[in-house]
Amino acid sequence: MFQATKNVDGGDRGGSRFQCGTLALMATRRVHAIVSGRVQGVSYRAATADTARRLGICGWVRNLPDGSVELEAEGATEQITAMLEWCGRGPPAAQVAKVASTDLAPTGVDTAFVIQG
C-alpha cells in the first residue's frame, strides 16, 4: 500500500514517489525477479536498494549461491516498470545478462526496501 509523499515545501517529489506501507491511491504491482550475469561483487544489491528507495518501492534484494541476484519489489506500476528497466542495466560495473521477472499479488506487508544476507 502506498501514499504520495510531499516535500516540506509542499511540492511532491517528482510527482510519482510513494511511501511503503500506507494506503494506495494508484495501482500497485509486485514482482519477483532473478538477475543473472556479472551481478555479484559489483555493488548490485546496494545500488538496487538505493534505486528502489529513490523510487519509493518496498521489498528486498539478496545474492543467490549461483551468482545471480534475487529481488521482490512492490510499488506503483510505473515505479516497478522503472525498477525492472534499471535492473536490466544495473550499476556501472555490472554486466547484466538477463532479468527474469514474474508478477505476484501485491501484499502490502513490506515497510521498506532491504538488503538480505
Establish if 56 belongs to a structural domain. Answer: yes
> In the prediction, which pLDDT does 26 show?
62
> In the prediction, which pLDDT does 19 show?
60
Establish if 115 belongs to a structural domain. Answer: no
- 7 is a catalytic site residue: no
For residue 105, the SS3 value is: coil
Give the active site residue among 17, 54, 63, 89: 63
What's 78's domain CATH number? 3.30.70.100
- Three state DSSP letters for 9-22: CCCECCCCCEEECC
Residues 47, 48, 49, 55, Cα dihedral to 10°: 110
Establish if 51 belongs to a structural domain. Answer: yes
41-83 pLDDT per residue, tens:
999 999 999 999 999 999 999 999 999 999 999 999 999 999 9
User: CA geometry: angle at 34 spanning 1 and 59, to 5°?
Assistant: 25
- 45 is a catalytic site residue: yes
Give the active site residue among 17, 29, 30, 45: 45
